[in-house]
Chain A
Amino acid sequence: MSAKIYETAADAVAGIEDGSTVLIGGFGMAGMPVQLVDALIDQGAADLTVVSNNAGNGDTGLAALLAKGRVRKVVCSFPRQVDSWVFDGLYRAGKIELEVVPQGNLAERMRAAGAGIGAFYCPTGVGTPLAEGKETRMIDGRTYVLEYPIKGDVALIGAHRADRMGNLVYRKTARNFGPVMATAARLVIVQVSEIVETGDLDPEAVVTPSIYVDRVVTA
Chain B
Amino acid sequence: MSLDKHQMAALIARDIPHGAYVNLGIGRPTLVADHLPADSGVVLHTENGMLNMGPAAKGDDVDPDLINAGKIPVTELPGTSYFHHADSFAMMRGGHLDVCVLGAFQVSAGGDLANWHTGEPDAIPAVGGAMDLAIGAKSVYVMMTLFAKDGSSKLVPECTYPLTGVGCVDRVYTDLATFLITPSGIEVRETFGITLDELRARVPVPLAG
A residues with CB within 8 A of B: 27-31, 53, 77-81, 87-88, 91-92, 98, 100-108, 110-111, 122-130, 170-180, 207
Q: Is the CB of B85 within 8 A of A107?
A: yes
Contact, CB under 8 Å: B84 / A179: yes
A128 lies within 8 A of B93 (CB): no
Majority secondary structure, A binding face: mixed
Q: Do residues A124 and B126 form an inter-chain contact, with CB atoms below 8 A?
A: no
User: 0/1 per residue, B62-91, Cβ < 8 Å to A?
Assistant: 011111100100001000001111101110
Q: Is the CB of B125 within 8 A of A100?
A: yes
Residue B132 interfacial (CB < 8 Å): yes
Establish whether residues A103 and B84, one from each chain, have CB atoms under 8 Å apart when the complex forms.
no
Instruction: Report Cα–Cα, A24/B88, bound state, in Å.
Output: 18
Instruction: State which of B50, B64, B65, B127 has its C-beta within 8 Å of the C-beta of A102.
Output: B127
B127, A130: Cβ atoms closer than 8 Å: yes
Distance between A150 CB and nearest chain B CB, rounded to angstroms: 12
User: Contact between B124 and A103 (Cβ–Cβ < 8 Å)?
Assistant: no
- Bound together, the chains give a CA A174 to CA B66 distance in angstroms of 7
21 intermolecular pairs with C-beta atoms under 8 Å apart: A27-B67, A29-B64, A30-B65, A53-B85, A78-B126, A80-B124, A91-B124, A103-B129, A103-B132, A104-B85, A107-B89, A108-B89, A122-B93, A124-B131, A127-B163, A128-B131, A128-B166, A170-B82, A171-B65, A172-B65, A176-B49
Give the dominant DSSP class at B's interface. Answer: loop
Q: A174-B65, A175-B83 are in contact. Are A123 and B126 (CB under 8 A)?
A: no
The 4 A-B pairs at the shortest CB distance, nearest first, are namely: A104-B89, A104-B132, A127-B166, A107-B85
Least CB distance from B53 to A in Å reads 9
How distant is the Cα of A124 from the Cα of B117 in the complex, in angstroms? 16
B25 at the interface (CB under 8 A from A): no
Contact indicator A77/B127 (Cβ below 8 Å): yes
Verify B127–A100 contact, CB threshold 8 A: yes
Question: Beyond A27-B71, A102-B127, is A175–B132 a contact (Cβ under 8 Å)?
Answer: no
CB closest residue in chain A, given B26? A78
